[in-house]
Homo-oligomer: A and B are copies of this chain.
């Protein structure tokens, strides 16, 4: 294992410190318990949004803290949910009396710990509304999940719900739009190589030189099947087809597409994948209204990519287009 790290046990804290230092104009860091919050807290009346989960998926979530997206993010240990304590502390820190939306990826630990934090917040009269992101169509249950996993679609939930909160929607309204995104967003990913959790020191799974894993999770959890390494077009089709089927796209729909890198994939390859996705959707008569191509929801240094499609209504597109100013995503600011 070669990584640009110091003590493997200090990876998260040192990385978040560097992040907070690099983006001191936008965020503040609370060390104990660990969370990242917007530097300029909003005035009373705005719904706050908190997300979080295991580290190793950077820039998710802390990279999306800022105007128009999250109010706070709670990084756990690598691939490990944060405990209720920092989630509660972050929730408390950003609540402005209008309630707090929790955006939770569907992993057993995350769901349980965010739920406990919400109960504790309720005892302090902070109203919390949770949404559970479960966009991965690859598998129904997996190593860390009951039901579908939450993966790259989380970015779109955070962007669109963040814009709804920013324009002044109340907690029910923000929750509803977040849930509408979740109901209409689907993803599937591929791994070309494994990743290595720093304190484990060895790859989290083995993939031989001639195979790729279709339907991989963002922690390297097993996918649907392994196939011999194939062309980008063939692999892209194997990711896109189940997404199209699950969303029941038949033509005429408007969509937002995200082609996401897993951390170790060159941007040039992501654009090849995007080209194929765009071509296939055009053939189907589906209108790609907006697109994002980049490494937004990663798995450490894993090579691979995922394809996310959101069946979008006019309001989602409008909220997607709204200004945002965060370390990893900015638009119009």
Q: What residues make up the interface of A, taking CB atoms closer than 8 Å to B?
A: 2-7, 11-12, 14-19, 21-22, 55-56, 58-59, 63, 190, 192-193, 209, 212, 229, 231-233, 235-236, 259, 263-276, 278, 291, 293, 295, 298, 300-301, 303-305, 330-333
Contact = CB atoms under 8 A, between A and B. Distances in A.
A-B pairs with lowest CB-CB distance, top 4: A18-B275, A18-B271, A4-B269, A15-B268
Contacts of A17: 271, 275
The oligomer's copy count stands at 2
Contacts of A19: 271, 274, 293
15 contacts: A3-B232, A4-B192, A4-B235, A4-B272, A6-B232, A12-B268, A14-B272, A14-B275, A15-B268, A18-B270, A21-B274, A22-B293, A63-B267, A301-B303, A330-B330
A111 B192 CA distance: 36
Nearest to A257: B22
A130 to B, nearest CB: 26
A39 to B, nearest CB: 15
A272 B330 contact: no
A2 B264 contact: no
Contacts of A236: 4
A78 to B, nearest CB: 9
Contacts of A22: 259, 271, 274, 278, 291, 293
A4 B265 contact: yes
Nearest to A305: B4
A6 B330 contact: no
B265 A193 contact: no
B305 A272 contact: no
A55 B269 CA distance: 12
A233 B303 CA distance: 25
Nearest to A292: B22
B331 A266 contact: no
A326 to B, nearest CB: 12
Contacts of A332: 333
Given A4-B236, A15-B275, 6 more contacts: A4-B235, A6-B231, A18-B276, A19-B271, A264-B266, A295-B295
A197 to B, nearest CB: 12
A292 to B, nearest CB: 8
Contacts of A276: 18
A12 to B, nearest CB: 8
Nearest to A303: B301
A303 B14 contact: no
Nearest to A12: B268
A301 B3 contact: no
B303 A266 contact: no
A233 B130 CA distance: 39
B272 A5 contact: yes
A56 B303 CA distance: 16
